[in-house]
Structure 1
């Protein structure tokens, strides 16, 4: 099979917003928010992403500090159990991030395709970063 006949490599797009003076919002944190929304639990969301409860809780704490009001509210455990849910602002942040992502992909589709076509199909594979 010649180089021209080989399939194009897979392409994954991600971006991160860096807020001044501090704080970041990227694909990992947004995925964690989505998982909390789906599972109703910080620990279950962390497990679904193969991260410890502590790591998930620290990321949630970071997110809650970055924005004007919390994105996640947690209820402590007990006889009725605990849980967590996204606040209205949390849902809005996820929706805005995903909208930016979709609009960027649509606007840059031609350039992304050109970059993808220029990648060698024999380039060594790398594991994507797990940073949030």
Structure 2
């Protein structure tokens, strides 16, 4: 594994970081908050609370959910949710590219063994 940066963005309404972005990506691929939470070993309630917090941080929700029942539930990223994930991943990539030399020097100083 090579050294890499992960970002945590402190916003007026809360924090957005690697874990929350990964949860959003999982919701996008699973189509479900519960299934996405299970991928990370978290309860539905914990996943839902994280999604609810992110939805409240932004002007419009990042995740849209349908209630369960006979027809089944589900969730998907909104256009803004997809955009926020892409913006975060782009910022993360740029930070890693910018700090590449420093990361290599830090990694070179690690204990061998």
- After TM superposition, the runs of 4+ consecutive aligned structure 1 residues lying more than 6 A away are none
Q: Higher strand share goes to which structure?
A: 2
Report the equivalent of 1:27: 18
RMSD over aligned Cα atoms:
1.3
**5+ unaligned residues in a row in structure 1: which ranges?**
1-8, 123-132
1:61 counterpart = 2:52: yes
After TM superposition, give the deviation of residue 107 of structure 1 in Å.
Answer: 1.3
**5+ unaligned residues in a row in structure 2: which ranges?**
none
Report the equivalent of 1:4: none
Report the equivalent of 1:16: 8
CA separation in 1, counterparts of 2:110 and 2:58?
Answer: 38
Report the equivalent of 2:41: 50
Q: Higher helix share goes to which structure?
A: 2
- Does the CA contact (< 8 Å) of 2:4 and 2:96 recur in 1? no
How many residues align structurally? 113
